[in-house]
Amino acid sequence: GQQLNQSPQSMFIQEGEDVSMNCTSSSIFNTWLWYKQDPGEGPVLLIALYKAGELTSNGRLTAQFGITRKDSFLNISASIPSDVGIYFCAGPGSGSARQLTFGSGTQLTVLP
């Protein structure tokens, strides 16, 4: 099936630092989505990307659709305590159904 490799698996950073994470696919995507999951809650959509090379921001978050169409990147600038959570990349699965496939997630911890 579709493979989405997300890294790093976990990050411990100081408040105020910038964060970068990425996701790679085994096949070409036409859509990349980034979700955040707060502790004890369901994932919430942060950013959607639809074109190779596209760069989209949502506040302190910026995501990019890689030009190879097989990768995507998420950056968080000037991290704050409420950034804690799990960040997932997602894209259309393989096969005719093409339901959303998720990466394994990046667990972010922000230290005061």
Partner 1 sequence: NAGVTQTPKFQVLKTGQSMTLQCAQDMNHNSMYWYRQDPGMGLRLIYYSASEGTTDKGEVPNGYNVSRLNKREFSLRLESAAPSQTSVYFCASSESRLPNYGYTFGSGTRLTVV
Give the binding site for partner 1 (CB under 8 A).
1, 4, 6, 9, 30-31, 33, 35, 40-45, 48, 50, 88, 90-93, 97-105
Contact yes or no for 88/109 (Cβ under 8 A): no
Residue 68 C-beta: closest distance to partner 1, Å: 19
State which residue, 15 or 50, has the beta carbon closest to partner 1: 50
Which CA distances in Å does 5 have to 57, 78, 88, 95, 103?
Answer: 22, 25, 10, 19, 6
Burial label for 47, CB within 10 Å (0-12, 13-18, 19+), is buried
Residue 39 C-beta: closest distance to partner 1, Å: 11
Residue 112 C-beta: closest distance to partner 1, Å: 25
Residue 8 C-beta: closest distance to partner 1, Å: 12
State which residue, 30 or 109, has the beta carbon closest to partner 1: 30
Alpha-carbon distance 28 to 105, whole Å?
20
